[in-house]
Amino acid sequence: MASTWTCQARCLKEMIDANNETQAHMYLEQLLLFPVDIQDKIIEDISHLSHCNSDAVADILGNYSIMDLR
């Protein structure tokens, strides 16, 4: 699952590393179609990673993109 999000994760990580939260929000909203409240959660989770790399970011994106089928 993480490999699906690797490219998107790399781009998002670069935006967050550059402290460009506005661009990160726009990226998540336009490309990945995440609602604003989920964008905030994703950015928050990424900012708390002890080792922020593309795979870790991809895992977070994957967690938020999976629909609950209950």
The answer as to whether 44 is a domain residue is yes
**E strand or H helix that includes residue 22:** helix 21-30
Work out the average pLDDT over 15-41: 82
The answer as to whether 65 is a domain residue is no
Q: How many domains does the chain have?
A: 1
| Three-class SS state of 32 | coil
The answer as to whether 29 is a domain residue is yes
Taking all residues of the chain, what is their mean pLDDT, rounded to a whole number?
Answer: 80
Percent of the chain with pLDDT over 70: 83
The answer as to whether 30 is a domain residue is yes
Range of the domain at 11: 2-49
The set of residues, in sequence order, having a beta carbon less than 8 Å from that of 6 and lying 6+ positions away, is: 54, 55, 58
pTM of the entire predicted model: 0.63
In this model, does residue 65 exceed pLDDT 90?
A: no
The answer as to whether 26 is a domain residue is yes
Residue 45, pLDDT score: 93
